[in-house]
Amino acid sequence: MNSPSKRWGRGLLIASGLAIGILLIVVFVVNRQVPSRDAAAPAAPTVRVITAEPLPFVIEARGYGTVRPARRWDAIANVPGRVVERHEGLESGTLLAKGTPLLELDPSRSRLAKAKAQAELASLAAEQAQLEMEAENTQRLVALERERFDLAEQELARIERLVTTGAVSRSRLDEERRATLAQRQTVQSLENELRLIPSRRQRLDAEIDRTTTRLDQARQDLEDTRFVAPYDLRLGEVEAELHQYVNAGQRLFRADGIEAAEVVAQVPLDMLRRLLGTQTVRDADGETLDIAQRLDLSVIEAEAILVAGRGARWPARVVRIANGLDPITRTARVVVRVNEPYRHVAPLTHPALVRDMYVRVRLATRASATQMVVPASAVHQGEVYLVDSRQRLVRRPVTVAFEQHDLAVIAEGLESGETVIVDDLTPAINGMTIDPRRDDDLAKRLRRQSLGETP
């Protein structure tokens, strides 16, 4: 059992601890710091702005395609023969000028056929001359024999009169009749020969035509033994070798013309429709049904840009819109032509535009009216952020007609002269105070981009 003094000391200790704790609490409460209230207003966010205004606008369409030569030559042997001549530069990749002899096949067979046809023509010409002479001689004989026939008939008439008087015997009359009939038969035979002259002449004419055709064929075969460059070209695959025998229909080599190249660019339909919508469709005349023939494609600026190159580009022109759509991508096929694709060639920076290069095609034409253009980044889920006259934010719904590059063309919801915020505000609360800063450089760049110039 504890003594009363120990219990008293323990209670005193507990009381002392409580008193000290209460004292500390009082001190903390008295010395506490009350949160101070900042009387200043929250700072307005600083944003870049531009003034909305209609701008002249160049509508563009883009597509990709591979290059092909505008003219291609597959040299096919029309006649069989052995290769007797071959140009020393007849190798893949060689550039050759128009008129350069490239290859020659053995012409002996064609020369023999030509000589044979010429001999036959000479024989037929002689036969034709003989026929004309025979016709002339027969006509003379017919004239003579007709005169003799007339005399015979006169003599027969005289004998018949004498027979009636008894001065001439009837046997003499019979002899005269036989002589007259023989003369008539002679005249008839000669006239029959004259009637056969036209058919014989027609037969000879047909023979001459047939032989002339063989002669022309022999001459054509002789020309087909020689292969001469029809235009400036670049050789492709070469399959013929010197002294090689080739058959008719066998390919000897391929060549591409270098005066022009074409690109069949696959352009999205919406881009092409927007581009062609700037033109006035001419009235159809006659049976012109193709819409491409009723548009002035010359007003469309075109440019081919090498995808894998260092900015190599070539001016082009639109020549036609191919029929139908690409079966895989469902894009329209626009054919552009590049003239002189081998001009100003620099191997490292500007190569020649050759077959199977992959290029991007840019088509452009100026819109008929000005367009309200803002940076595409200034449109936030169908809204633009504006600054009103009290420098407060206004969220305005807009309708975007289309986007081109990083520009948005506004169809509705934006008026000229309004101040557009081009920065992305987070958060963007209607009515919040804004500190606008006009970005003149962006406005100038926007104008250049709307005209299709490289920023």
SS3 string of the chain? CCCHHHHHHHHHHHHHHHHHHHHHHHHHHHCCCCCCCCCCCCCCCEEEEEECCEECCEEEEEEEEEEEECCEEEEECCCCEEEEEECCCCCCCCEECCCCEEEEECCHHHHHHHHHHHHHHHHHHHHHHHHHHHHHHHHHHHHHHHHHHHHHHHHHHHHHHHHHHCCCCHHHHHHHHHHHHHHHHHHHHHHHHHHHHHHHHHHHHHHHHHHHHHHHHHHHHHHHCEEECCCCEEEEEECCCCCCEECCCCEEEEEEECCEEEEEEEECHHHHHHHHCCCCCCCCCCCCCCHHHHCCHHHCEEEEEECCCCCCEEEEEEEEEEEEECCCCCCEEEEEEEECCCCCCECCCECCCCCCCEEEEEEEEECCCCEEEEEHHHEECCEEEEECCCCEEEEEECEEEEEECCEEEEEECCCCCCEEECCCCCCCCCCCECEEEECHHHHHHHHHHHCCCCC
The pLDDT assigned to 358 comes to 93
The pLDDT assigned to 444 comes to 92
pLDDT greater than 60 at residue 343 = yes
The pLDDT assigned to 7 comes to 63
The pLDDT assigned to 39 comes to 46
pLDDT greater than 90 at residue 384 = yes
**Is pLDDT larger for residue 169 or for residue 106?**
106
Section 281-285 average pLDDT: 55
Section 419-446 average pLDDT: 90
Section 398-413 average pLDDT: 91
With cut-offs at 50, 70 and 90, classify the pLDDT of residue 359: very high
In the chain, the percentage of residues whose pLDDT exceeds 90 is: 51
The pLDDT assigned to 42 comes to 60
Q: 42-56, 288-302, 377-391 — which is least confidently predicted?
A: 288-302
The pLDDT assigned to 324 comes to 81
The pLDDT assigned to 174 comes to 80
Section 132-159 average pLDDT: 85
Architecture field, domain 47-57+369-450: Beta Barrel (2.40)
- Going from N- to C-terminal start, the domains of the chain cover 47-57+369-450, 109-224, 260-366
Q: 142-151, 248-257, 288-297, 327-336 — which is least confidently predicted?
A: 288-297
The pLDDT assigned to 149 comes to 81
The pLDDT assigned to 85 comes to 93
With cut-offs at 50, 70 and 90, classify the pLDDT of residue 1: very low
pLDDT greater than 60 at residue 40 = no
pLDDT greater than 70 at residue 6 = no
pLDDT greater than 70 at residue 287 = no
Section 228-248 average pLDDT: 93
